[in-house]
Amino acid sequence: MSEQKKIGFAVIGCGHIGKRHIAEIKVNLKGELLAICDVKDKSEFEDFGVPFFSSLDALLLSDICPDVINICTPNGLHVSQSIQILEHCNVLLEKPMALSVYDATALIEKEKQTQNQLFCVMQNRYSPPALWLKSLMDNNTLGQIYMVNLNCFWNRDNRYYNSANWRGTMNLDGGTLFTQFSHFIDILFHLFGSVKIKDVVLSDFKHQQTTDFEDSGIIRFDLQHGGIGNMQFSTAVFDKNMESSITIIGEKGSVKVGGQYMEKIEYCHIKNYEMPQLNSSNGEHDYGKYKGSASNHHFVIENVIETLKGNTKKDATPEQCLKVIGFIEEVYKRRKVESII
């Protein structure tokens, strides 16, 4: 593909995250928005100034031929829509890639059968603190890792769940770990390789009337190369998001990245090490009634464009995302045999 050719995108699912994709495509000089697709009334999307389609089938049967279709629909639709689109063009798929290992594996196999590529959104990898942590791990700066603690304490109340009827359902949402915290589980795998779950405790404190699943949990795990870990998560936090943080205790030092969205270096003490000056983190996604992870989708769009032009490789592969799906699936399988208190 020539350097001069713009990469054409279409976006299906034009809710909050879909609008973020649209905005980032429009400001990228190497990309262009060709069409959008949503089940809502066309009048809501007239300002985007591109052809509108009310179904994926209509888009695929049209004369518009995007290089990439961005899937920003409810979680439970991701696999079937991706499989359908891969027959026609490349796919940029919002998290989660799938709601089961079986479906994720089928999707990976479908990609291999076509000439098109499947890209996955894991935008938290691009934050300056995450890039810094990755460099520490790659360079063995902390030596042997003894302990890791991941905390994800957010608010998701009726303001969130009442804003779309698919939210909170098992079939289309899938669970708190899939929808809210899969990005942070990806950071675990990105930094430490595989992790092995030891035990799980899940609870539903505030959402019995609004969701089909837990709102809080504690997961203990072992790291691939030794060391122990713990993840605590909750969407039962009062009123607003509280914290997303990771603490790493190692042989040669300890670090903590915290803040509401893992955007601040809160502690760094490492043997013979001078803390570098990091770039500022991007702000969170502000959806009005609730807030989400860091706004790094421009890096995702750029990686798709440069990969298709042959200038780089995927930053987040489907095989890497499969590990995240496997972790979450194992947590939820254990839910069936352990009481939700």
The reported pTM is 0.93
What is the dihedral sign for C-alpha 305, 309, 311, 317? Answer: positive
- In whole angstroms, how far apart are CA 226 and each of 49, 63, 161, 254? 54, 54, 39, 16
Tens-digit pLDDT profile for residues 143-170? 999 999 999 999 999 999 999 999 999 9
Identify the structural domains of the chain with CATH numbers, from first to last: 7-120 (3.40.50.720), 126-289 (3.30.360.10)
Mean pLDDT, rounded, of the chain: 94
Question: What is the rounded CA–CA span in Å between residue 191 and residue 141?
Answer: 13
Residue 247, H or E segment: strand 243-250
Predicted local confidence at residue 339, as pLDDT: 46
Closest residue by Cα to residue 103 from 326, 330, 331, 337: 326
Residue 36 has pLDDT above 80, yes or no: yes
Pick from 268, 286, 280, 176: nearest CA to 231: 176
Name the token pair of 87: 């027959």
Phi, psi for 294 (deg, rounded to 5): -60, 145
Question: What pairing do the DSSP bridges indicate for beta strands 68-71 and 253-258?
Answer: unpaired
182 bridge partner residues? none
Tell me if residue 309 falls in helix, strand or coil.
Answer: coil
User: What does the angle CA 35 – CA 63 – CA 311 come to, to the nearest 5 degrees?
Assistant: 65
Query: What is the phi-psi region of residue 77: left when phi exceeds 0, alpha when psi lies from -120 to 50, beta otherwise?
Result: alpha
Query: pLDDT for 258-302, tens place per residue?
Result: 999 999 999 999 999 999 999 887 655 455 555 555 679 999 999
- How big is the CA angle at 28 (ends 27 and 33), to the nearest 5 degrees? 80
CA contacts within 13 A on the Cβ side of 187: 32
Asked whether residue 9 carries a pLDDT value surpassing 70, the answer given is yes
Beta pairing class for 145-153 and 228-234: parallel
- If you average pLDDT over residues 233-257, what whole number do you get? 98
Q: Which pLDDT belongs to residue 337? A: 47
Question: For residue 235, what pLDDT is reported?
Answer: 98
The yes-or-no verdict on residue 216 having pLDDT over 90 is: yes
Q: Does residue 3 carry a pLDDT above 90?
A: no
Q: What percent of the chain has pLDDT over 70?
A: 94
Mean pLDDT along residues 17-39? 97
